[in-house]
Structure 1
């Protein structure tokens, strides 16, 4: 089978499985780049691809495209999923599938979180603009930050959030995550208050409430790229060291605060909607020292003279 046809079939299969648009875009972006690389090496048939072909592509990504280990592993994950699909449809078998001989590279994973000071500075910045300008951007962007901090939701979940998904009476928010799975997460009192105020502002601003919670000045839902640009502007204004200032930093901060305040990993897994406990336990591994300090500080044995 020609590689370009195999990639097309893979795309149709993932669409049939209803994976998220963002995930599909990531897969296809990587496979398009891989396809271009293979054409330059005069490889057009899927069965002509070897483990060395894949490894040389990853080396190309590292040296020519300047990809860091995390990005390279992300691309390799997409390629692994593609070749495992080819094994499912019997283009390859367990023995001759070239992807099985390609391993992920070691990457130093750094999880960045905001300090209390940085969070207060961001909120104070938007508070000043809201008082002065009363603009949509100030109300919307500050509510985005508070929502991310208060829920740990993903960027895609934030952009897809509708007012019909926000239940003020029962204080929960319905999210549609990966594979269009529906999940209900609790809404804290402070977040409820902020969303209610923002909802009233939107009703006055647009004359009627938009369908989506976070919208542009025309009432259309914000795209993930628009939110990323918002954080880029905020990063320049705040000039914070050691943090990228992106949606995932708020998600990490939510997880960090939850654990530091005594929350358990099992509950955090449910709140973050991780499919595997291992994904949540990486937070425990990174912040284990701080957790140990808190465990020593509040240990019941401290009250007794042993």
Structure 2
């Protein structure tokens, strides 16, 4: 079967299975790159794809500057595609299964208090001076990401009807495609409430059902938010941290862990499908080891 037509079938199957739009786009981009690589190397049929083909493609990606996390993501997408080819009885075995993932460097970016204050102060100055829509919206976006740890796609999909200002909760359509409710602090609720009043005034009573919109009062897209952070990154010029929505999520997780919140509670707030993910973060940022060492170290009772 031609790779070109096989990919079309696979993408239609993913769409039928109702994967998220971001996942579908990821499949399209990565598998199109893989198809182009195969075509360049005169491989046209799915049956001709071998372990060596996939390895050469991943090495090619590494030489182009892809890190281990990116190449592992590409390997995962190729595996899924070839598993589908087995289901369709095009091939008998998946050559991608024989390839081990690359070892990833464990470095997770988080913001310091300095970073957070710099960003919020920047928007606060703009907001007070100009009271511009963009500065108020972007300020509230940062407060929401920091105060809840929600994912970018979840935040963009938030509606005013998802916020219960009385019970102080937020309802989210999460990564696992089910609706979940999380508690929200009073401080974050006050910011969202004030922003709602501002939007009602700015749009002359025509409040959009979505919380975060563009200047035309249309639902904001994840790409638009990424562009906001790209512009902010140039202004802030942070050299030691990546300014992205996921860094806000990691920062939320780190702050909760360092404040002593239980792993179980953090898993519920972050909505990790597996607690092992939460435990990985806890091992990285937890202060239990330091506290235990400070308390029980043998030098404590010795004069040295």
TM-score by length of 1: 0.92
User: Which residue of structure 1 aligns with residue 49 of structure 2?
Assistant: 49
Equivalent residues in 2 for 1:124-135, closer than 5 Å? 124-135=121-132
Between the aligned partners of 2:282 and 2:87, the Cα distance in structure 1 is 35
Q: Is 1:34 the counterpart of 2:31 in the alignment?
A: no
TM-aligned CA distance change 1:195 to 1:238, over 3 Å: same
Alpha carbons 2:2, 2:44 under 8 Å: kept: yes
TM-aligned CA distance change 1:16 to 1:237, over 3 Å: same
Deviation at 1:99, TM superposition (A): 1.2
After superposition, give the CA deviation of every residue in 1:5-44 in whole Å (9 maximum; x if it has no partner): 2211111111112111001101110000101111111111
Between the aligned partners of 1:235 and 1:295, the Cα distance in structure 2 is 38
TM-aligned CA distance change 1:191 to 1:298, over 3 Å: farther
User: Which residue of structure 1 aligns with residue 59 of structure 2?
Assistant: 59
TM-aligned CA distance change 1:125 to 1:58, over 3 Å: same
Q: Is 1:141 the counterpart of 2:132 in the alignment?
A: no
Candidates 238, 244, 247, aligned match of 2:245: 247
User: Which residue of structure 1 aligns with residue 270 of structure 2?
Assistant: 272
Question: 2:154 is paired with a residue of what secondary structure?
Answer: helix
Kindly tell me the number of residue pairs found equivalent between the two proteins.
295
Unaligned 5+ segments in structure 2 are 297-304
Between the aligned partners of 1:231 and 1:158, the Cα distance in structure 2 is 14
After superposition, give the CA deviation of every residue in 1:236-292 in whole Å (9 maximum; x if it has no partner): 22222311111000000000000001112222112111112222222123224x342
Candidates 141, 147, 169, aligned match of 2:166: 169
User: Which residue of structure 2 aligns with residue 91 of structure 1?
Assistant: 90
Alpha carbons 2:267, 2:275 under 8 Å: kept: yes
What root-mean-square deviation, in Å, do the aligned CA atoms of Structure 1 and Structure 2 show? 1.6
Between the aligned partners of 1:178 and 1:152, the Cα distance in structure 2 is 13
Alpha carbons 2:79, 2:94 under 8 Å: kept: no
TM-score by length of 2: 0.92
User: Which residue of structure 2 aligns with residue 113 of structure 1?
Assistant: 110
User: Which residue of structure 2 aligns with residue 23 of structure 1?
Assistant: 23
Between the aligned partners of 1:184 and 1:243, the Cα distance in structure 2 is 30
Deviation at 1:187, TM superposition (A): 1.2
